[in-house]
């Protein structure tokens, strides 16, 4: 089983819940062993529900201190620097980690991605469309834009058949309410 570490740059995402759901579903479906998860933000400025959600998902919130405002980018740079330092620390103190997932589209992560590749580590970058660096995909083994990946997922349609073990279900969507009925053989 592949061991991974996930690092989240929270302020790069407007829809933080959508980002969390995408990342968690992606790696839980693939049966990876997620050993380290850290999320970087000024947790004094984020709502407490988000911090609680992180803790429920076994993600360690890392408080970022910046001496400036979000408006002048010093806040974002503080998160990037903190994340980069921690990634390098994990690289050297946890050599069994096979894959590093960087949830940030920030071009500042390119140097970190290069360093991880020098150490023969797999890299995955995940970003929001509006915060994606146009060059980060070149430096990642795998690259995902959340909005593009979610658009690929097929919504449940009328009379779509799902097989669940020996039972077969028909899903009918009626006015945004999905009804499930069991088909008898």
Please write the tens of the pLDDT for every residue from 12-40.
787 888 888 888 888 877 777 889 999 99
Whether pLDDT at 171 is above 60: no
* Helix or strand run (H / E) with residue 33: strand 33-41
CATH 3.40.50.2020 fits 3-152, yes or no: no
What the block records as the tokens of 107 is: 């071009």
Residue-level pLDDT at 66: 65
* pLDDT bucket at 113, cuts 50 / 70 / 90: very high
The helix/strand/coil state of 126 is strand
- Please state, in angstroms and rounded to a whole number, the distance separating the CA atoms of residues 9 and 125: 11
Please tell me the pTM assigned to this model.
Answer: 0.75
Q: Where are the domains of the chain?
A: 3-152, 154-185
- Please state, in angstroms and rounded to a whole number, the distance separating the CA atoms of residues 154 and 30: 18
What contacts 101, CB < 8 A, 6 or more positions away? 4, 5, 6, 7, 23, 27, 123, 124, 125, 126
Give mean pLDDT, residues 63-87: 73
Whether pLDDT at 164 is above 50: no
Residue-level pLDDT at 123: 95
Whether pLDDT at 52 is above 90: no
Q: Are 118 and 111 in contact (CB under 8 A)?
A: no
């Amino acid at each position: 089983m592949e061991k991974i570490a996930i690092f989240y740059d929270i302020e790069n995402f407007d829809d933080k819940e959508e980002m969390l759901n995408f990342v968690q579903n992606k790696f839980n479906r693939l049966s990876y062993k997620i050993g380290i998860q850290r999320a970087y933000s000024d947790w004094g400025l984020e709502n407490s529900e988000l911090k609680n959600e992180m803790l429920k998902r076994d993600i360690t919130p890392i408080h970022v201190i910046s001496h400036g405002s979000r408006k002048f980018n010093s806040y974002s740079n503080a998160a990037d620097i903190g994340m980069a330092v921690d990634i390098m620390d994990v690289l050297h103190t946890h050599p069994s980690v096979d894959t590093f997932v960087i949830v940030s589209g920030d071009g500042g992560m390119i140097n970190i991605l290069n360093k991880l590749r020098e150490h023969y580590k797999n890299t995955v970058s995940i970003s929001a469309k509006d915060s994606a660096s146009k060059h980060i995909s070149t430096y990642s083994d795998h690259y995902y834009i959340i909005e593009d990946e979610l658009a690929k997922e097929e919504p449940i349609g009328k009379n779509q058949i799902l097989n669940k073990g020996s039972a077969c279900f028909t899903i009918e969507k009626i006015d945004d309410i999905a009804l499930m009925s069991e088909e008898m053989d």
